[in-house]
Amino acid sequence: MICFPRVVCPSLVAEIAGGHSSKMVVVWRTAATGTVSLSMSYWKFGVPSQRCNTRQPFPQVLCDHTGRHESRQLRMYDSKHSKKNFKTQEDHDVRPVRNLWRSLSAFQFADAGMFGTNACVASGRQWLTEVSSTSQGMASILFLVIFLLLPSTLVAVEKLDFVAQPGGFQIPERIRLGACSAGGVDRMGNIYLLHRGRSPVICLDKNGKFLRAWGDDTIKGPHGLRVDQHDHIWITDVGQHVVRQFTALGEPLLLLGQPGSAGDGPDQFNKPTDVAFSASGEIYVSDGYENSRIKAFAVDGRLLRTWGEPGDCRGQLKIPHSILVDARERILVGDSGNRRIQVFDRTGNVLEIWNGITALGMAYDPKGNLFVADGPGNKILQLNEHGQIVGSWGGEGTDPGQFQVPHMLATDGDGNLIVAEVKGFRFQKLVRRQ
């Protein structure tokens, strides 16, 4: 028999996406001779808070996500919860079990009399410190059962590198760049640059050759620019407190908000910062410098829902500066004033919080790699699906590849980065090295 002395984790820890801030830890124990002692780990869990005693005698019970108690059975959970909705959250303080936690996913394991289970939905922040077993053989079997039964959800993060390409954008001398705010790329590879000066929207072809410029008559406070799946150009205007949709030629299509009227009403913004789009057609606006909320709209401009309020608690926001929708229809919000990214579902329930990142801008490349413009750090960061930094480029300065407050960024079809520097008054193209 294979034994793991002082097995670190004969436990199962999982998280369900949801809107409440309860915590859950599932703890395995042996039914006959062995016991496992541990302190609880902190987890988000989208269910009403329940409590179980972690040291109660066998048979133990499972406090499941509906509040029911089920004796001697672990069931996670019914079929309506797909595998992608079960995510483990890494605890940096317990490095030996990191990979095990990452590999957990939804499954069913009915107790056949060999093992007891104990699940606890606990409140408060506690940390897993040690697991010890008086029956190392049983704990070893349990460790192997968990490890072998659960399919891995690990996705390898591509190792990337970039080099700055000076002179990548051929902007006419008659256009004097102001503070450079944002950029975008359409399906043909055409580039759209947004700055705070005359001719605020500059259009280039995929090789950086100038095509046209527009926006003087309509855009008063350029802030964010996005290109949607139909190659329409969306611009957030903090001067007019509106979000505008244009054709590639600058012809207005849709207006959200009341021009020149700041407020917190259902049809108002107060310095909106960014806009994002879901595959289903919904439009999300981060509103923004003053209201600190998210507004969701239908494709025709009808308001669907609003969430968020000023603050630093879970789900609250302080200057939501950037917003993005991932392939799983989760909404990523750069909660810049709180130095974190909050991940929401489409109705505004918090799924994850990635702390320590000031995301002034965010963009996915065609392969799903996530990049962040860290303005205060003067760097471009690459994050993995857990919000961990896996790549970093730049530093403060004026040389190619250095930055002075990178504000927002975009990616093209080849995975190159286009970075707007609000203090550096320039755009840089970072070309991906093969």
CA distances to 3, 194, 404 from 168, in Å: 60, 16, 18
Contacts of 426 (CB under 8 A, 6+ apart): 177, 180
Q: Which residues pair with 419 in a beta bridge?
A: 409, 428
pLDDT band at 52 (very low <50, low <70, confident <90, very high): very low
Chain mean pLDDT for the chain: 74
The tens digit of pLDDT for each residue in 229-270 reads: 999 999 999 999 999 999 999 999 999 999 999 999 999 999
Q: For the segment 4-48, what is each residue's pLDDT rounded down to a tens digit? A: 222 223 333 333 233 333 333 333 333 333 333 333 332 233 333
Looking at residue 284, its pLDDT comes to 98
Q: In the numeric block, which tokens belong to residue 397?
A: 């300065």
CA distance 33 to 30: 7
Task: Categorize the per-residue pLDDT at 351 as very low, low, confident or very high, splitting at 50, 70 and 90.
Answer: very high
For residue 317, give the nearest of 348, 293, 353 by alpha carbon: 293
Amino acid at position 39, single letter: S
285 vs 364: CA distance, rounded Å: 17
Instruction: Give, in order, the Cα–Cα distances in Å from 298 to each of 15, 263, 268.
Output: 30, 21, 16
What DSSP character marks residue 100?
H
CA distances from 130 to 7, 39, 60, 120 (A): 9, 7, 21, 17
CB 264 within 8 A of CB 306: no
Q: Are 208 and 168 in contact (CB under 8 A)?
A: yes
Residues composing the chain: 434
At which residue do the structure tokens 């595998």 appear?
83
Tokens encoding 103: 């590999």
Average confidence (pLDDT) over 305-314: 98
Task: Tell me which DSSP letter residue 121 carries.
Answer: -
Q: How confident is the model at residue 159 (pLDDT cuts 50, 70, 90)?
A: confident
Q: Is the dihedral of CA 300, 302, 308, 310 positive or negative?
A: positive
With b for 16 or more beta-carbon neighbours within 10 A and e for fewer, the 174-210 pattern comes to: ebebebbbbbbbbeeebbbbbbbeebbbbbbeeebee
- Residue 119 dihedral angles phi and psi, to the nearest 5°: -115, 145
Domains and CATH numbers, the chain: 11-149 (no CATH), 162-432 (2.120.10.30)
For residue 156, name the pLDDT band (cuts at 50, 70, 90).
Answer: low
**Torsions phi, psi of 82, nearest 5?**
-75, 165
pLDDT at residue 375 in the model:
98
Q: Which amino acid is it at 159?
A: K
Where residue 434 falls among pLDDT bands split at 50, 70, 90? confident
pLDDT, position 372 = 98
